[in-house]
Homo-oligomer: A and B are copies of this chain.
């Protein structure tokens, strides 16, 4: 085990800061504005927080980069260096951002990371195309680089299957919003595809590029999937009960009538009278008043939806820890991955 000052995760934060610098440098090369479509790449740079809407250089929030970190940590755990997995890390980060740009359009979201979304600034048509561009740059990151042909083919196949999962997940998410009953099986199928799949892909790409055998690749994929599902559910919990001063974003999920795991569990558990009121409030176009919002939040608590959601997160984290131990038993750096799990899932934001 490596030196860890005071048992804290400072050592890990420092490592992630190095990863972040590396990712930023390469992403800026990939997204470099080139004529004749300079402004296409500038819109991407805006989305990444490198330019403001007047296309002047800034350093805005570029997101948490959890997915590429997993990819790089897995590779470093296996080989002692993250370098080989850089194409994979870039690809998952580009795919994640493609999905954000399109999700924001599909959800009519005006803000992302406290800034106007791409479509809100440049309109829907250009923004759809910006997302398509990020989608394709992810595939270029896997094939324009230094990967062996076999690794490149396997990585692209994995990425394509993952993107199919993402589209299925997004389809389920869009469909749940207009459907009558947000069932738990449908939520789980959605969370597995919309969030779990790309986390699993990130871990698997790190393992493929780190030269791991098939059994280890599969186990690490399952590890990533469990982490991703936990991450999604944790995000849903913070969307209802998160403290904005800690998370950096207001807890708007009830206000926006978003069907996260607390709502889905409450739906399963509510008595007919509460269920009728809940359904009516969730399908009403008019905004909720403060009393209604607080009634819903209280109902979720009373029904034990918060406790059950937190138990579901913990269950997935335990599964992830177990898979990690099996896959990386004796690897020099598996501690980093264990600490990373705590770091991202005990987050308050």
Q: In this assembly, does A243 line the interface, its C-beta being within 8 Å of a C-beta of chain B?
A: no
CB-CB under 8 A from A153, the residues of chain B are 143, 147, 149, 152-153, 156
A124 to B107, CA, bound (A): 10
A139 to B154, CA, bound (A): 12
A175 to B136, CA, bound (A): 20
Known A147-B153, A157-B144; judge A171-B106 contact (CB<8 A): no
13 contacts between A and B (CB under 8 A): A36-B172, A102-B128, A102-B129, A106-B124, A106-B129, A128-B131, A129-B167, A131-B132, A133-B171, A135-B135, A139-B163, A153-B156, A156-B156
Q: In this assembly, does A121 line the interface, its C-beta being within 8 Å of a C-beta of chain B?
A: no
Tell me whether A129 and B160 are in contact (CB under 8 A).
no
Tell me whether A175 and B39 are in contact (CB under 8 A).
yes
CB-CB under 8 A from A124, the residues of chain B are 105-106, 124
Tell me whether B136 and A164 are in contact (CB under 8 A).
yes
From 122 to 169 in chain A, residues with beta carbon under 8 angstroms from any chain B beta carbon are 124-126, 128-129, 131-133, 135-137, 139-140, 142-144, 147-150, 152-153, 156-157, 159-161, 163-164, 166-168
Q: In this assembly, does A170 line the interface, its C-beta being within 8 Å of a C-beta of chain B?
A: yes
Q: In this assembly, does A1 line the interface, its C-beta being within 8 Å of a C-beta of chain B?
A: no
Size bracket of the A interface = 35 or more
20 new A-B contacts at CB < 8 Å, known A40-B168, A132-B135, A139-B139: A36-B168, A36-B172, A39-B171, A40-B171, A105-B128, A124-B124, A125-B174, A129-B170, A131-B132, A132-B167, A139-B159, A139-B163, A140-B157, A143-B156, A144-B160, A149-B150, A152-B152, A152-B153, A152-B156, A153-B156
Query: Smallest CB–CB gap between A35 and chain B, Å?
Result: 9
From 260 to 279 in chain A, residues with beta carbon under 8 angstroms from any chain B beta carbon are none
Q: In this assembly, does A189 line the interface, its C-beta being within 8 Å of a C-beta of chain B?
A: yes
A149 to B171, CA, bound (A): 32
Which residue of B140, B157, B172 contacts A37 across the interface (Cβ within 8 Å)?
A: B172
CB-CB under 8 A from A308, the residues of chain B are none
A150 to B147, CA, bound (A): 11
CB-CB under 8 A from A140, the residues of chain B are 157, 160-161, 164
A140 to B164, CA, bound (A): 9
Q: In this assembly, does A218 line the interface, its C-beta being within 8 Å of a C-beta of chain B?
A: no
Which residue of B40, B107, B128, B149 contacts A152 across the interface (Cβ within 8 Å)?
A: B149
- Give A106's nearest chain B residue, CB to CB: B125
Q: In this assembly, does A79 line the interface, its C-beta being within 8 Å of a C-beta of chain B?
A: no
A153 to B190, CA, bound (A): 31
Tell me whether A136 and B172 are in contact (CB under 8 A).
no
Q: In this assembly, does A52 line the interface, its C-beta being within 8 Å of a C-beta of chain B?
A: no
Tell me whether B160 and A136 are in contact (CB under 8 A).
yes
Which residue of B142, B159, B168, B171 contacts A126 across the interface (Cβ within 8 Å)?
A: B171
CB-CB under 8 A from A152, the residues of chain B are 149, 152-153, 156
